[in-house]
Structure 1
């Protein structure tokens, strides 16, 4: 039994070193957030409005866009509030809900990226069998499997965290309810939860990474064997953007989650999380996919033309 008062709410510290630039940072991150959400919604709308884009590649991309849009929405509005108001309190239940949403959607994104890598492998290495293997039904089942697997792992993790006691400091050294920070504040024995958290993060990241590495290793071998330079360039262009974003995502997440507790630096985690929640989504859709994909450009032009005709 403890005499301390149980924590009912937490205070998100944010970035105190640059809090004097709150208004400027609020505007920058607001624009980045709106741009990311707009890019996600644009790809989802165009994919389902244009029958030419209703292929496995774009179905997976639109599913990824939806998940990414939800993922950044669980975190960025909270960050904007911190920049604007200085400090932001969040109730205990809301904090756990945010932690669940962040981890659930984040792990789903990793699984979807692995499925997208598998899709590219089948399209480039098995082009004759691709239409029969990767059909819309299989696409839908793979997407559901990604969500279900993530839900099972993260629900078990959050249930374990909800049973911990919080009776000391309530200041979270982060800009959202990061699970690592919550475990640091708990006055219960957290070793079993930390080990479970570590192995869940390791499983999600390593499993998706293994699938991606195997897929792209086979893609690289196939591309090198293509007889024409134009064919090699076309095949590489469909994968290069995917690889750039993968390196950012895996790098930041391995840095945050897959490391021993003694090497855990919360300040560095905040910066890496900022890259994962602000920079990567913006890079993914506006710099890489939207600006480089000719099919998306054509679909957008056709959609705008139809709107003009209706007027």
Structure 2
């Protein structure tokens, strides 16, 4: 049974993350579920990064951005899941104030960077479909690197204001965070002062990041849709749409839950609902991204087959070399 361990008349420096309180059997079952999901996330994204880096046929802007998306997803899910696994398996609920704010910062840093990168990937598809002849000039290597740097820097700077606000707050108790990670809304509820102004500022900052990048993505796809409809052949329309299908699926999954969670005009009193929604965008979506891109993308399938074939050839050559020396 969790309880506040800090005196009520001084600022709290240690918190207890509630997680998913249930019977021990259910917690162990949840541990294995999240462990498998985390393993699939890390494995899938590592495979994508290695494939994009090693296959010459994937040295294009789209796959350069995809490799960065995989890197973001690995960090994004790693900011929350390892702590959740320790809660479920070893019942370690405690986290320091510094650790809590750090977890919150990196979660929103990587999440914000993903928003910017998804918008850039939508722009990349817009240029590829609407201006195919100018695409190599517009999306050259230098411009792609600049785009990625801007995404990472923007993500890094976006949650700084919120982190500084949290650092300067005093927490009087109770010290139980009703979530599976240090999310900002439940953390603000533990502050000693009225945080309504801080909540409004953080809401506006979240809305600016999420809605601006979402709007850029939607505008790109509106122009993409108009261009695709102008293509005469059905084969051409299908080919153009197939290059966007994977990205559009990821955008729908990610923004659908994030907008509902952080840009909803109403405040939800059910933290249990918040946890379920948070699991979708912080654990499920990063796990599905590699599957969506590999199962729906013919270039990735062919690249994976080439890598497997090269590995098999190398293995046979090594076996032949060993036999020759024997």
Band the TM-score falls in, shorter-chain normalisation: over 0.9
CA RMSD of aligned residues (A): 1.6
| Other-structure match for 1:130 | 135
* Cα distance, 1:154 vs structure 2: 1.0
| Other-structure match for 1:74 | 79
CA 1:305–1:251 in 2, change beyond 3 Å: closer, same or farther?
A: same
Matches of residues 48-59 of structure 1 in structure 2 within 5 Å? 48-59=53-64
| 2:181 paired with 1:176 | yes
Matches of residues 128-207 of structure 1 in structure 2 within 5 Å? 128-207=133-212
Matches of residues 104-119 of structure 1 in structure 2 within 5 Å? 104-119=109-124
| Other-structure match for 2:222 | 217
Q: Which moved more, 1:290-299 or 1:79-88?
A: 79-88
What do residues 79-123 of structure 1 show as CA deviations (whole Å, max 9, x unaligned)? 212221345111111000000000000000011000000000000
| Other-structure match for 1:275 | 280
Partners of 1:284 and 1:153 in 2: CA distance: 23
Partners of 1:155 and 1:205 in 2: CA distance: 16
| 2:303 paired with 1:295 | no
Partners of 1:28 and 1:3 in 2: CA distance: 37
Partners of 2:224 and 2:22 in 1: CA distance: 45
Partners of 1:92 and 1:83 in 2: CA distance: 21
* SS across alignment from 1:15: coil
Indicate if the aligned counterparts of 1:14 and 1:87 stay in contact, CA closer than 8 A. no
Partners of 2:8 and 2:182 in 1: CA distance: 25
Partners of 1:151 and 1:64 in 2: CA distance: 15
What do residues 195-251 of structure 1 show as CA deviations (whole Å, max 9, x unaligned)? 221011101111111101100001111111111101111111121222222112112
Partners of 1:80 and 1:234 in 2: CA distance: 42
* SS across alignment from 1:11: strand
Indicate if the aligned counterparts of 1:13 and 1:87 stay in contact, CA closer than 8 A. no
| Other-structure match for 1:85 | 90
Partners of 1:252 and 1:293 in 2: CA distance: 24
TM-score scaled to structure 1, two decimals?
A: 0.95
* SS across alignment from 2:226: helix
Partners of 2:106 and 2:8 in 1: CA distance: 32
* SS across alignment from 2:189: helix
Partners of 1:202 and 1:224 in 2: CA distance: 32
* SS across alignment from 1:148: helix
Partners of 2:234 and 2:22 in 1: CA distance: 51
CA 1:124–1:158 in 2, change beyond 3 Å: closer, same or farther?
A: same
What do residues 127-146 of structure 1 show as CA deviations (whole Å, max 9, x unaligned)? 01110000111111011111
* SS across alignment from 1:122: helix
Structure 1: where are the runs of 5+ without partners?
Answer: none
| 2:231 paired with 1:226 | yes
* SS across alignment from 2:174: coil
Indicate if the aligned counterparts of 2:246 and 2:293 stay in contact, CA closer than 8 A. yes
Indicate if the aligned counterparts of 1:22 and 1:86 stay in contact, CA closer than 8 A. no
Structure with higher Rg: it is 2
CA 1:201–1:18 in 2, change beyond 3 Å: closer, same or farther?
A: farther
Partners of 2:297 and 2:264 in 1: CA distance: 37
What do residues 172-211 of structure 1 show as CA deviations (whole Å, max 9, x unaligned)? 0000000111111111232332122101110111111110
TM-score scaled to structure 2, two decimals?
A: 0.91
Partners of 1:263 and 1:277 in 2: CA distance: 19
| 2:272 paired with 1:249 | no
What do residues 267-308 of structure 1 show as CA deviations (whole Å, max 9, x unaligned)? 21111000012221222211x111121111121122122222
